[in-house]
Amino acid sequence: MGWYNAANDLTFFKSLPKVELHRHLEGSVRVRTLKEIALEHNVPLPPQTGQLRPLVQIQSGDPLTSGNFLSKFQPLRQFYRSPEVITRVAREAVEDAVSDGIQYLELRFTPVALGRSQNFPLDSVMDWVIESTQEASRKYGITTRLIASVNRHESPELAKEVAGLAADRIDKGIVGLDMAGDEVKFPAQPFAGIFREAKQAGLFITLHAGEWSGAENVREAVEDLHADRIGHGVRVMDDPDVVAMVRERNIPFEVCITSNYQSGVVSTLEEHPFMNMLKAGLNVTLNTDDPEISGIILSDEYYMVCSVLKLSREALKDRIVAAAGAAFLPAAERRELVNSLRDTLLDIF
């Protein structure tokens, strides 16, 4: 059917029903919200408030490196000054997903990042995010599930605490455990037992792996940490044996193309391995990662993958359905989501 021609505009992509599996709450906070929080809580800002955006969002001319990308998160931690702030940013993340046509959202959040500046108890932080996202989801008619995230550079003891609290809240909407952070400097192996126990407790597992380091990290995530999905994972293509393994196991990949470009994983958008992953038979899905930091929405990713990487409309439809099929839901709910999206998309394409 070819890739988009006359229909290749953002309005069309905004009209599509969507599934987002890889979106960080901390990377979704609106800049204008940060300015309002700063005024209310006396958060120190640059001399001119207009200079806040370059601190927390990728700008034209920024170095396209992991260091610069990750640096955007650091100023954010000082803004989480109250329970009301945390509930607000969680609510707004759901609102922004709804405005982009997302019907099913898995929002991952890092309790330690949200709670550290004010020493909020981690269980309280998790409950605030749960309550806020559930309320917003009911209001706007979106299905939202939560993934608790831990960082490689923080202690296994802290990760164990977060994992235990998340497992206690499975019946409240936390469905998974994630690990993010610098995979070059900090190995995953010290966390293997924690993730094994989390899976036994009923949590799904997704891990950032094969983003800034090689395919061996993808293998480790699947074989040693029992990952159900892989966050990013684009370096899997470095090793045909690992490609074969994840293809055989049908491991879904949460691919974030713009994020990979902005963080220096790929040199140009055209060089992104998304299409090669698809041709290799891998189960790839499209996601934003950190929409506010990247200055994008999921519709932008759909537009870009079709216009730059030449993904066909039929293949885009398949990737949306594939994302639904990879959702961290009970089997019956997952089938219902897949069937609903497939029917809606058949009417559009």
**Of residues 92, 211, 254, 292, which has the active-site annotation?**
211
Tell me the Ramachandran region of residue 101: left when phi exceeds 0, alpha when psi lies from -120 to 50, beta otherwise: left
Is residue 337 pLDDT above 70, yes or no? yes
Residue range 320-337: mean pLDDT, rounded: 98
Split at pLDDT 50, 70, 90, the class of 7 is: very low
Active site residue 292: no
Determine the Cα–Cα distance for residues 83 and 128; give it in Å rounded to an integer: 7
Q: What pLDDT shows up at residue 104?
A: 98
Split at pLDDT 50, 70, 90, the class of 2 is: very low
Q: What pLDDT shows up at residue 348?
A: 87
Smallest CA-to-CA distance from 33 within 99, 86, 102, 74 is with 86
Is residue 3 pLDDT above 80, yes or no? no
The 10s digit of each residue's pLDDT in 150-180 is 999 999 999 999 999 999 999 999 999 999 9
Q: What pLDDT shows up at residue 50?
A: 66
Split at pLDDT 50, 70, 90, the class of 44 is: confident
Split at pLDDT 50, 70, 90, the class of 45 is: confident
The 10s digit of each residue's pLDDT in 211-258 is 999 999 999 999 999 999 999 999 999 999 999 999 999 999 999 999
Q: Which amino acid is at 161?
A: E
**pLDDT exceeding 90 applies to what percent of the chain?**
92
Is residue 6 pLDDT above 60, yes or no? no
Residue range 43-59: mean pLDDT, rounded: 85
Question: Under CATH, to which class is 19-348 assigned?
Answer: alpha beta
Q: Which amino acid is at 271?
A: E
Percent helix, strand and coil across the chain, each rounded to 5?
55, 15, 30
Question: pTM for the whole thing?
Answer: 0.95
Helices assigned H by DSSP within 100-179 = 111-115, 122-140, 156-167
Residue range 178-202: mean pLDDT, rounded: 96
Computed over every residue of the chain, the mean pLDDT equals: 95
The 10s digit of each residue's pLDDT in 114-160 is 999 999 999 999 999 999 999 999 999 999 999 999 999 999 999 99
Lowest model confidence (mean pLDDT) among 3-7, 243-247, 307-311, 318-322: 3-7
With b meaning 16 or more CB within 10 Å and e meaning fewer, what string describes 3-36?
A: bbeeeeeeebbbebbbbbbbbbbbbbbbeeebbe
| The length of the chain, given as a count of residues | 349
Return all residues near 73 (Cβ < 8 A) that are at least 6 apart: 26, 27, 113, 293
Smallest CA-to-CA distance from 147 within 319, 326, 279 is with 326
The 10s digit of each residue's pLDDT in 253-304 is 999 999 999 999 999 999 999 999 999 999 999 999 999 999 999 999 999 9
Split at pLDDT 50, 70, 90, the class of 108 is: very high
